[in-house]
Structure 1
Amino acid sequence: MDLPTGWLEGLGYSPLLIALLALVGASLVILFLAPAFFNLLKKTKFPARFSFIKRHPKRSLAFIIVILVAIFGAYVYYSFSQPVRIVFAGQLRIERLNALKQVQSDDATVSDNSGIYLLDIRSRKEYAVEHLKQSDNKPADRNAAGMAPLDGVDLVIYSTGSRFTEARRVADVIKKNEALLKGKYTKKPGKVYIVRDGFEGLKKAGLATESGGFD
């Protein structure tokens, strides 16, 4: 896989990585304490209904680890299935690398079939100085609040890293507008990604940029 610049920084703040580390840590602790666990079982009297634990200590320990893995799997599924996700630029590029490459290709347009739409909500002036290639600009203080989730296309919203709350506010309005348009989508509305480290993070992650504003 083509790992982007800044991918490690993005993953460092990923709740999925934190959950994975917690799972690995808990599993190692359980395995480390396994001998003490087995000795404790020998000395402990269990009710008849829990006699399986004493008769099969290794299976019981394995069952605990399976439960931890199941909890982690449920958390991963929950995180990726959310209609609105807050991500770092490094995470986004790793997860949606092919779509980002397609939308930023030389022959692409903002509204192509890559399945992803880059929405820059910074000011027109900031956008003109430098912006992501094939991104659209709808300033938060102007017309971005009038948007709704796109039909079958994921929406990537970002401002500057220091104005992350601005991007989050626009995303909240967009999701509210989705409810007003319920039943009018021909496909399932796309997910909304909010980039926590903003334009600077996306640039650092290796996405192509260009200069120039609107005519």
Structure 2
Amino acid sequence: MSYTTPSIIIADDHPLLLKGLSDFLIEKGYNLIGQANNGREAFNLIIEMKPDIAILDIQMPYMSGLEIAQQCKDLNLETKIVLITLHKEKDLYQKAQELNIFGYILKEFALEEIENCIKTVTEGTPFFSDRIKELIGVILLEDNELSSLTPSERKILKLIARDKTNKEIASQLFISYRTVEKHRSNIITKLHLEPKTNSLLIWAKENHDKLL
């Protein structure tokens, strides 16, 4: 691996899956510093060892992967969370986006995607498996939708992807709060998004690389 090898912990309550992932990472030369077979152990490892990346099963006893991610977010921990899941529900995927989770991959494709995921996450870019996007029907960005956005709308989307509030965006771009709200409304219309809370935030995070 040509980039700095990150420190990693893994957690899964299925012993065979945990061993399979552990053996794979060790064989590939990754810096695996801890393993856990339930959510509480995993969270304690994150607190104690401060790994660069934590690869977690989404459903575990005591604490789920999502609950661990929420705790890490609340505590401003720098560990990047990657979730591995058997579940293909759209609401779980969207919840992961809202919690600033850095990776989300399906167990059935985990070994073929995990290396690319770790490399991408190490570089500071979220990795959301295209396979899961296809399976849950996440609509990927069409070029004509992107081209319909004005330069101002693109700037606002970039700031939304960085979790900036309307007030912060208005201050940074020297425009009024109401102007930001109007831009947001126009963006939602142009991108054919549902006018739900966080729909624009989720879209911006999913497509941030196309806004560069």
Q: TM-score, normalised by structure 2?
A: 0.29
Q: TM-score, normalised by structure 1?
A: 0.28
* Bigger relative contact order (CA 8 A; separation at least 6): 1
